[in-house]
Amino acid sequence: MPSSGGRISRAERLSIMGAPVKWHRLTEAQIADALEKSVGIMSVAAERLGVDRSTICRRVQKSQRLRNVIDAATERTMDVAEAALLRAVQKGEAWAVCFFLKCKAKQRGYSERKEITGPAGKPIEVNVPEDELDKIIAGE
């Protein structure tokens, strides 16, 4: 028998369909705690809370606080990764030295590609007279 005066709630529909029903509204604090414990990974937080990932995504989209929790967790994880990379560089591991130089020492020429820009990083301006452009296009 429907509990809401003739209307069937979503929980009741799921129950009728044989789906397990564990219906409760998660607080922002519960979601924030799960996101912190899962290092900002929404699918892991959702699993911890017993809900679908889309539920967490929706709540994160609506809450600046939850977005901040994810950003802070991501920053902490990047710090851990950078520390691990530096330890590998200090051990002299070639892959780590190469990666570090390509990413952090570009100004010293360690790069797989060279970016060329105009003054102050702006685009390079090339002025070609129109008659010269016509010759280039014509293949002359």
In a domain, residue 5? The reply is no
What are the tens digits of pLDDT across the range 37-84? 999 999 999 999 999 999 999 999 999 999 999 999 999 999 999 999
What pLDDT is attached to residue 15? 56
In a domain, residue 109? The reply is yes
In a domain, residue 2? The reply is no
| Count of structural domains, the chain | 1
In a domain, residue 90? The reply is yes
In a domain, residue 45? The reply is yes
| Assessment of whether the complete model's pTM goes beyond 0.95 | no
What is the full DSSP assignment across 31-87? HHHHHHHTTT-HHHHHHHHTS-HHHHHHHHHH-HHHHHHHHHHHHHHHHHHHHHHHH
In a domain, residue 22? The reply is yes
In a domain, residue 115? The reply is yes
Range of the domain at 91: 10-138
